[in-house]
Structure 1
Amino acid sequence: MKKLRKTNSLTYLALLLLAIWGCTDKLDEPELNNNFAGGTDFTKTEDMQLSIVGVYEAFQSRGWEQPLLIAVRGDDVNAGGLGDQQDFAETDIFNYNKDYWMYNSLWENIYVDIISAHTAMEQIARFQELADDEGKALGDSYIAEAKVLRAIMLFHISQVWGDVFIPETSDTAVLSDVEVVPTKDEVMQHISDQMDEAIPFLLAVRPNERTDLPGGVTRYTALAIKALANQELKNYQAVADATAEIINSGAFSLYPDYYELFKTPGKLSDESILDMQYSDFGQGEGDREGHLYAPYGPQNWTPAVEGASSGWGFFEPSMKFIKFMLDRGETVRLETSVLFTDRGIAVLQEDPAYATLPGFVSNTTRDGDLINDYARALFASGKHYLPSNQLISGRTAYGSNKNFNIIRYAEILLMYAEALAQGASGGSISADQAVNLVRTRAGMPPLSGVTLDQIIDEKYAELSMEWGKRYFDMLRLGRFDELSYDGRTFSEDKSFLPYPQTQVDQFPILGD
């Protein structure tokens, strides 16, 4: 048990931290989520680790609605059919309701966690005032880690809303004095600059090589986020430079089995650059850290392991995506990405071009889980699926013990290739080599002289249903027609969600 808990130290320490701190309502006054101010002995510099683990705990405490809302508007995925979240389905077809609770939850909770990161950085600085040189250096590394986690949260919220606040302290009162909301470009440049500040203090190792906090952020996580921010800025040379440094490190490789990459065997693989980590700690009951994956799962299944819970059917791979993958001759990436129902297969076969389908297109997964027909959708997301035979005995929640991938090495390779296709100078392998590494893992034939269109198609095949990456690529590239599909009509003015009315009421500058 000791060995098992050591390999899951982030999630275990987060549980320990919660036990020490107790439960607080962070939403009421996030700037006061500070437990240290009145009760911490800042001479005990070894306790600095609790501060950074608190940032990880906040970062990993995504509500189920948050990644779901970020991802739903692309042409790779549909919201599940009618139900108790009609405004979620409306968001998928670009009809936005500023009063919808999901919008406010995403905005408010991410900002709460960003403020928590600032609180921790300020507390670590107080430890450093009384620390020796070794303690000060450790504090610098922890502050750098907090900057990286803060950056990816700020990145996501700016992708969704564009112009957003940039908190630079734990004091939320200063936000009321903001006279001009920073533009999306300003936010992305801020993120890039923050990563430049953090990089010198971070370990140059893979996340899974860290021994203190396995899976924690490293220099390469910061470089990846810098590349993402500069991709949004269309500063493709900076993208090429950052991704080339990751590639040239030789630290990362693609996990050989794409199907298992998103399941237990792929947890903290050599492909992982940033994950949200969850664990049942090898126990069928008791402590656990987990994400609610039920929204992604099929409403009705017959699991290979009796008693495993089904899902809610809120997240459906699109028919457009499935046909795109079949047209390309995709095998393992399609099998991995989509859980098929009999009804979905029948609807697909109504198109004569798809009357004959590969054998892996089945309502039974290779792990023996039977995906039955259900009302809300024709398909479910395979990337958010954990086979019932990989659940720890005694755990029945859908996807329990599954990590949540955010940045993978495959994306770094494709970002690098795209940057070169966009005119950047390469500092590592060729664009062909980068794309073909990804294609080879997927069992696809190599390409020569790859074009921008081919790279964008490769990103569609490789990264679909992951954090809205496809949607935000289409926005950045101005390929708005791709988002008008299956009766949807997209226009550029629909790029960003409206600010939640609750936030406009609190910060009138958002209404201006």
Structure 2
Amino acid sequence: MKLLINHTKWILAILVVVGIGACTDKLDEPELNNNFAGGTDFTDASGMIQSTVGAYEAFYSRGWEQPLIIAVRGDDVNAGGLGDQPEFSEMDKFNYSKDHWMVNSLWENIYADVISAHTAMEQIERYQEFGNESEIALGNQYIAEIQVLRAMMLFQISQVYGDVFIPESSDTELLLELESVPSKTEVMQHISDQMDLAIPLLPNIRPNERTDLPGAVTRFTALAVKALANQELENYQIVADATGQIISSGKFNLYPDYYELFKTPGKLSDESILDLQYSDFNQGEGDRFAHLYAPYGPQNWTPAVEGSNSGWGFFEPSFKFIKFMLDRGETVRLETSVLFTDEGISQLQSDPDYSTLPSFVSNTTRDGDVINDFARALFSSGKHYLPSNQLIEGRTAYGSNKNYPVIRYAEIVLMYAEALTQGASGTALSADQAVNLVRERAGMAPISGVTLDDVIDEKFAELSMEWGKRYYDLIRLNRYDELNYDGRTFTEAKTYLPYPQAQIDQFPILGN
């Protein structure tokens, strides 16, 4: 088991009772999924929360490889070299293998968690058969929350693979009866339609305002997912309308300190729209729900807090991104996004245009962690870094206790601005106001007459290293030339990863 929603022993106890293990092969065990709470008294509606928390736990249970596969192909980030996952490094260069275990793991585990979501919704419906009016209404809210989690997973897997399955129940045998694989367009439209059903059933508050399940899904999360799906569909007026509702609500604010946003002080801030939540329960030993952040960390460091573990060096900000940020005069966003080594700094300075660097470009972070040279990369991702002095005493794992942001308000504001530059209308803000709101937090001067290029550059600066958002923007906008950098050659045919051979063997329709 990997995580909770609320940092309490009560939630942990629920997760233990529910007992949904992310590592079980749910796609091979539909009958078990249909009765994972065997013997449950469905006349006791208080049990609905168990099914709901089980769905969140499945959603939070990202294997370490999943976000990396989703994110690694953009020009903002490179796969660390000299690793024990050469096929992952080749993926970053647009050379794909349908037999690579990571390609199969992403598909298999996301669909496993989608099936868990359906199982949970079906369990709640069984409670509703015996519930009173208020219990039925609460069950509808829980189902709507789970629909949002399911939609986010389908969104990400379709971004990666294109045409993918849309399960409609926990019975995976139905997938064997499909005569065609739903297109990416159909998947995104399905997500948008599902969000229309979910939105009126969800609390009209920020995720961090929820007192029952702090940080859980709200109406604004569903609006954000709807906007993301319609951005992929290039339905920019719908994007402007959905993001405009979030902005006009007045509920959200950019966290004032960009550096701390990705660290402990920024957990569940007013900027958070959807996070994967993790916790050490404020204790140095015992129960812990965590994501494995080691792949993002430097292989060699001298932490300010002795004994704190280093990482694997699998995820490296690119020279292209770093130079782009330096050219713009970026300060806090560059400092936050990149952990520098001395060798990385030296290679930057070997280019005469970057011989003189700002003082914050250092191998020592502002929290006193020293990033030493290591074999696999020249830089590491600062957005996945938790300073060793923010680790709870007794915890030594890299990034332990750190949340993983999925959707931030800053992205919503920039999506809104992009929609306006693509011809949509909106009254929440002007495109200039939206972009400058994000720039102000970063200490950048305001600009006027914002164009699409301005917005895409701002998204590059603001959202790089986050879930491949840069890559999918370039793909959506057909800006393929941007991906031809540092010896890479990209073609439109390389947009999607191949279906895993293990899944083609199980579902032959994928091979047609």
* Alpha-carbon distance change, 270 to 187 in structure 1, aligned in 2, over 3 angstroms: same
Letter of the structure 2 residue corresponding to residue 326 of structure 1? L
CA–CA distance in 1 between the matches of 2:31 and 2:356?
59
Matched, 1:26 2:24: yes
2:60 aligned residue: 60
Identity, % of aligned positions: 75
> Deviation of residue 19 (structure 1)?
4.8
CA–CA distance in 1 between the matches of 2:13 and 2:342?
41
Q: Secondary structure of the equivalent of 2:383?
A: coil
Letter of the structure 2 residue corresponding to residue 477 of structure 1? L
Between 1:31-40 and 1:311-320, the stretch displaced more is: 31-40
Q: Secondary structure of the equivalent of 1:43?
A: coil
CA–CA distance in 1 between the matches of 2:218 and 2:348?
44
The answer as to whether partners of 1:204 and 1:220 remain within 8 angstroms in 2 is yes
CA–CA distance in 2 between the matches of 1:23 and 1:235?
38
The answer as to whether partners of 2:72 and 2:79 remain within 8 angstroms in 1 is yes
Q: Deviations over 1:207-247 (max 9, x none)?
A: 00001000000000000000000000000000000000000
Letter of the structure 1 residue corresponding to residue 286 of structure 2? G
Matched, 1:16 2:14: yes
CA–CA distance in 2 between the matches of 1:199 and 1:465?
29
The answer as to whether partners of 1:52 and 1:120 remain within 8 angstroms in 2 is yes
CA–CA distance in 2 between the matches of 1:25 and 1:159?
23
> Deviation of residue 134 (structure 1)?
0.6
Q: Deviations over 1:2-46 (max 9, x none)?
A: xxx999348962553225537586214155234445311001101
The answer as to whether partners of 1:317 and 1:380 remain within 8 angstroms in 2 is yes
Q: Deviations over 1:266-303 (max 9, x none)?
A: 00000000000000010000001100000000000000
CA–CA distance in 2 between the matches of 1:499 and 1:11?
40
1:51 aligned residue: 51
2:142 aligned residue: 142
Letter of the structure 2 residue corresponding to residue 460 of structure 1? F
The answer as to whether partners of 1:31 and 1:172 remain within 8 angstroms in 2 is no
> Deviation of residue 351 (structure 1)?
0.3
1:98 aligned residue: 98
* Alpha-carbon distance change, 453 to 479 in structure 1, aligned in 2, over 3 angstroms: same
CA–CA distance in 2 between the matches of 1:111 and 1:496?
17
CA–CA distance in 2 between the matches of 1:95 and 1:162?
17
1:450 aligned residue: 450
The answer as to whether partners of 1:296 and 1:380 remain within 8 angstroms in 2 is yes
1:317 aligned residue: 317
Q: Secondary structure of the equivalent of 2:384?
A: coil
Matched, 1:460 2:475: no
CA–CA distance in 1 between the matches of 2:444 and 2:354?
20
The answer as to whether partners of 2:22 and 2:61 remain within 8 angstroms in 1 is no
Aligned 1:478-497 pairs, distance under 5 A? 478-497=478-497
1:426 aligned residue: 426
Where structure 1 has 5 or more consecutive residues not aligned to the other structure, the ranges are none
Q: Deviations over 1:393-419 (max 9, x none)?
A: 000000000000000000000000000
* Alpha-carbon distance change, 228 to 317 in structure 1, aligned in 2, over 3 angstroms: same
CA–CA distance in 1 between the matches of 2:222 and 2:435?
22
CA–CA distance in 1 between the matches of 2:324 and 2:37?
55
CA–CA distance in 2 between the matches of 1:152 and 1:37?
25
The answer as to whether partners of 2:4 and 2:12 remain within 8 angstroms in 1 is no
2:222 aligned residue: 222
CA–CA distance in 1 between the matches of 2:500 and 2:292?
24
Matched, 1:351 2:351: yes
The answer as to whether partners of 1:316 and 1:380 remain within 8 angstroms in 2 is yes
* Alpha-carbon distance change, 211 to 338 in structure 1, aligned in 2, over 3 angstroms: same
CA–CA distance in 1 between the matches of 2:289 and 2:493?
39
* Alpha-carbon distance change, 14 to 235 in structure 1, aligned in 2, over 3 angstroms: farther
CA–CA distance in 2 between the matches of 1:364 and 1:265?
20
CA–CA distance in 1 between the matches of 2:80 and 2:138?
46
Q: Deviations over 1:178-226 (max 9, x none)?
A: 1110000000000000000000100010000001000000000000000
- Report the number of matched residues: 508
Between 1:216-225 and 1:13-22, the stretch displaced more is: 13-22
2:181 aligned residue: 181
Q: Secondary structure of the equivalent of 1:145?
A: helix
Aligned 1:291-310 pairs, distance under 5 A? 291-310=291-310
The answer as to whether partners of 1:30 and 1:112 remain within 8 angstroms in 2 is no
Letter of the structure 2 residue corresponding to residue 26 of structure 1? T
Aligned 1:378-393 pairs, distance under 5 A? 378-393=378-393
Q: Secondary structure of the equivalent of 1:389?
A: helix
CA–CA distance in 2 between the matches of 1:361 and 1:286?
38
* Alpha-carbon distance change, 30 to 384 in structure 1, aligned in 2, over 3 angstroms: farther
CA–CA distance in 2 between the matches of 1:38 and 1:405?
34
The answer as to whether partners of 1:241 and 1:427 remain within 8 angstroms in 2 is no
The answer as to whether partners of 2:5 and 2:214 remain within 8 angstroms in 1 is yes
Q: Deviations over 1:441-478 (max 9, x none)?
A: 00000011101101000000000000000000000000
Letter of the structure 2 residue corresponding to residue 490 of structure 1? F
CA–CA distance in 2 between the matches of 1:291 and 1:393?
18
CA–CA distance in 2 between the matches of 1:10 and 1:206?
20
The answer as to whether partners of 1:11 and 1:57 remain within 8 angstroms in 2 is no
The answer as to whether partners of 1:10 and 1:277 remain within 8 angstroms in 2 is no
* Alpha-carbon distance change, 31 to 25 in structure 1, aligned in 2, over 3 angstroms: farther
For the aligned residue pairs, the C-alpha RMSD in angstroms reads: 1.5
Letter of the structure 2 residue corresponding to residue 378 of structure 1? L
CA–CA distance in 2 between the matches of 1:416 and 1:22?
37
> Deviation of residue 427 (structure 1)?
2.7
The answer as to whether partners of 1:165 and 1:182 remain within 8 angstroms in 2 is yes
Q: Secondary structure of the equivalent of 1:82?
A: coil
Aligned 1:242-253 pairs, distance under 5 A? 242-253=242-253
Aligned 1:189-228 pairs, distance under 5 A? 189-228=189-228
Q: TM-score w.r.t. structure 1 length? A: 0.97
* Alpha-carbon distance change, 96 to 347 in structure 1, aligned in 2, over 3 angstroms: same
The answer as to whether partners of 1:72 and 1:79 remain within 8 angstroms in 2 is yes
> Deviation of residue 428 (structure 1)?
1.1
Q: Secondary structure of the equivalent of 1:38?
A: coil
Q: TM-score w.r.t. structure 2 length? A: 0.97
Letter of the structure 2 residue corresponding to residue 314 of structure 1? F
Letter of the structure 1 residue corresponding to residue 14 of structure 2? L
Matched, 1:151 2:151: yes
The answer as to whether partners of 2:301 and 2:371 remain within 8 angstroms in 1 is yes
The answer as to whether partners of 1:158 and 1:164 remain within 8 angstroms in 2 is yes
Aligned 1:469-480 pairs, distance under 5 A? 469-480=469-480
CA–CA distance in 1 between the matches of 2:10 and 2:385?
23
> Deviation of residue 50 (structure 1)?
0.4
Q: Secondary structure of the equivalent of 1:321?
A: helix
Letter of the structure 2 residue corresponding to residue 222 of structure 1? A
CA–CA distance in 2 between the matches of 1:446 and 1:497?
39
